[in-house]
Amino acid sequence: MTTWFTSDHHFGHANIIGHCARPFAGQQQMDDELVRRWNSVVGPDDEVWHLGDFAYRCGPNRLLDIFSRLQGRAIHLVSGNHDRKHTLALPWASIQQYAELQVEGQAIVLFHYALRVWNRCHHGAWNLYGHSHGRLNGSSTSCDVGVDAWSYTPASLEQIAERLKKGGDVVS
């Protein structure tokens, strides 16, 4: 089992293509490609932490269709500023606004927004965040896990560790 981290898919949000210069011809192509790229790395027994803005202006039936196509035995949501009632009604493994966890011995603080300080930040804990769409560089202990910073795929702990060794800057 692998644990993955991701954020800011904005399923159903046609305008995000222009706002973030995403390489898709339209919203349907973007949604389908984001699902394909998710499933290209996430296996059926894996765990995923989604750090918010899963969808925007996407109807409940479409949302459920997209969610049901995503691989992963447990998909958690750390809610973002665009996660409304239809997104929150999806069958998430858990929903919270903030989370602290240990993955393979690494302490991690998850929040939709980048933090300047966080619990145990001076003791090796990492802050993973979204919201900035690859426009905010990280540091040696904080990293943007949004799809715009990771070639539209979730990131593994190993991939994040490699990026943090390089200072956390977006390199996609």
Q: Are 102 and 108 in contact (CB under 8 A)?
A: yes
Instruction: Give residue 116's pLDDT.
Output: 95
Residue 168 has pLDDT above 90, yes or no: no
Measured between alpha carbons, how far is 170 from 172 in angstroms, rounded to an integer? 6
Measured between alpha carbons, how far is 19 from 10 in angstroms, rounded to an integer? 11
Token digits of residue 140: 């040696």
User: Three-class SS of residue 55?
Assistant: strand
User: Three-class SS of residue 121?
Assistant: helix
> What's the whole-number mean pLDDT along residues 12-37?
97
Band of residue 137 on the pLDDT scale cut at 50, 70, 90: confident
Instruction: Give residue 172's pLDDT.
Output: 47
User: Three-class SS of residue 1?
Assistant: coil
Q: What is the pTM of this model?
A: 0.96
> What's the whole-number mean pLDDT along residues 146-150?
97
Measured between alpha carbons, how far is 142 from 154 in angstroms, rounded to an integer? 16
